[in-house]
Amino acid sequence: MKRFFTSLLDLIYKQKCYCCSSSEENSRLCTNCYNSLTMCELQPSKFVCGVNVYCAGLYNKNLQKMIRGLKYHKQKEMAFYIAKFMYEYWQNLGISSKFTIIPVPLHFKRLKKRKYNQVELIADEFSKLSGYEINTKLIKRVKETQPQYKLSRIERLDNLKDAFEVNKEEYRGGSVLILDDISTTGSTFEVMVNELKYNGINNIICFAAATPF
Instruction: Confirm or reject binding of residue 33 to Zn ion (CB under 5 A).
Output: yes
CB 141 within 8 A of CB 106: yes
Least spacing, CB of residue 111 vs Zn ion, in Å: 31
Is the Cα torsion angle 34, 134, 95, 157 positive or negative in sign? positive
Q: Which is nearer to Zn ion, 20 or 129 (CB)?
A: 20
Instruction: Confirm or reject binding of residue 17 to Zn ion (CB under 5 A).
Output: yes
Query: How big is the site for Zn ion, counted in residues (CB under 5 A)?
Result: 5
Q: Which is nearer to Zn ion, 46 or 84 (CB)?
A: 84
Instruction: Confirm or reject binding of residue 30 to Zn ion (CB under 5 A).
Output: yes
Distance (Å, rounded) from C-alpha 188 to C-alpha 107?
Answer: 13
> What letters, b where the CB count within 10 A reaches 16 and e where it falls short, cover 148-184?
beebeeeebbebbeebbebeeeebeeeebbbbbbbbb
Q: Which is nearer to Zn ion, 24 or 162 (CB)?
A: 24
Q: Which is nearer to Zn ion, 64 or 203 (CB)?
A: 64
**Residues in touch with Zn ion (CB under 5 A):** 17, 19-20, 30, 33
